[in-house]
């Protein structure tokens, strides 16, 4: 008997018997915040055939079990996982819940299944600067990389950290120019940014507060994609 497939939009913490079919639209290792060389978690964005997206995470003690079984862009049937609230600030999707992989979580590749819905929902840079956007979850932006600062050191809560400030331009309008502060910079190399200056790129970033005709945002570059469209 075939398993019943649940819509991602319906997934919540009311039960532990969900079965979903979803594409791994983004996959990354999140670094430890405490200087450890071992990653803190394996994270991903899952998207079903209706375009609904949800954040899923594998804690560090289970990365060995699932990392080799997951590939960005592939579609899987996933069952027997935990569900918890996604949190209040800087959620990776609009979904109010997130998926937590457990030791018993089943992941089955569906090689003949394709989900061809676009992963991105681009927001104009002008909307970020001048409209009252919901700042609780990440958004997608696209633009021309027109400048980058190189690595910069700053102090936060008594701890020295690094960041890179980049500038995006959209549609050639100075009113649609964006500066993004990135911290930490472990997942995004300054040399990579210099090599891509002047080329189109897209990224995921939290909406922020406008400062005149510029907007400064803080994000974790490990969730950021800067690639040619």
Strand arrangement of the beta sheet that strand 159-170 belongs to:
200-206, 138-156, 159-170, 173-182, 214-219, 210-211
Inter-CA distances, 110 with 75, 77, 107, 168, 173, Å: 6, 7, 10, 38, 44
Look at residue 192 and give its three-state secondary structure: helix
Question: What is the pLDDT at residue 86?
Answer: 85
Tokens of 82: 């935990």
Question: What is the pLDDT at residue 126?
Answer: 73
Question: What is the pLDDT at residue 180?
Answer: 53
Tell me if the pTM is above 0.75. Answer: no
* Surface-to-core class of residue 6, CB atoms within 10 Å of its CB (0-12 exposed, 13-18 middle, 19+ buried): middle
Tokens of 155: 């102090």
| Rounded CA separation 67/82 (Å) | 18
Inter-CA distances, 187 with 48, 63, 65, 135, 222, Å: 27, 18, 23, 23, 5
DSSP 137-187: BEEEEEEEEEEEEEEEEEEETTEEEEEEEEEEEETTEEEEEEEEEES--TT
Question: What is the pLDDT at residue 143?
Answer: 73
In the chain the domains, ranked by start, together with CATH numbers, are 8-109 (2.40.50.140), 125-223 (2.40.50.140)
Overall residue count recorded for the chain in this entry: 229
Walk along the chain (229 residues) and give the pLDDT tens digit of each residue.
Answer: 457 899 999 999 998 889 999 999 999 988 876 767 788 899 999 999 999 999 999 999 999 999 999 999 999 999 999 999 987 667 888 899 999 999 999 999 999 999 998 888 887 777 777 777 777 777 777 777 777 777 777 777 777 777 777 777 777 654 444 555 544 444 444 444 444 444 445 444 444 333 333 344 434 444 444 443 3
Tokens of 81: 């996982």
């Amino acid at each position: 008997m075939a398993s019943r497939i649940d819509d991602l939009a319906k997934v919540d913490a009311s039960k532990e018997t969900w079965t979903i079919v979803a594409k791994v639209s983004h996959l990354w290792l999140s670094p430890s915040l405490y200087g450890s060389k071992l990653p803190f978690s394996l994270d991903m964005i899952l998207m079903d055939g209706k375009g609904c997206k949800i954040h899923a995470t594998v804690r560090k003690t289970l990365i060995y079990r699932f990392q080799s079984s997951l590939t960005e862009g592939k579609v899987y049937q996933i069952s027997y996982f935990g569900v918890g609230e996604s949190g209040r600030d800087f959620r990776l999707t609009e979904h109010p819940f997130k998926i937590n992989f457990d030791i018993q979580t089943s992941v089955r590749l569906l090689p003949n299944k394709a989900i061809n819905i676009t992963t991105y929902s681009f927001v104009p840079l002008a909307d970020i600067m001048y409209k009252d956007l919901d700042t609780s979850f990440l958004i997608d932006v696209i633009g021309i990389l027109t400048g980058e600062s190189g690595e910069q050191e700053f102090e936060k809560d008594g701890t020295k950290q690094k960041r890179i400030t980049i500038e995006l331009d959209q549609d050639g309008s100075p009113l649609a120019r964006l500066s993004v502060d990135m911290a930490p910079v472990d997942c995004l190399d300054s040399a990579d940014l210099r090599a891509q200056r002047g080329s189109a790129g897209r990224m995921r970033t939290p909406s922020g507060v406008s400062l005149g005709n510029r907007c400064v945002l803080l994000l974790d570059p490990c969730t950021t994609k800067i690639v040619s469209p």
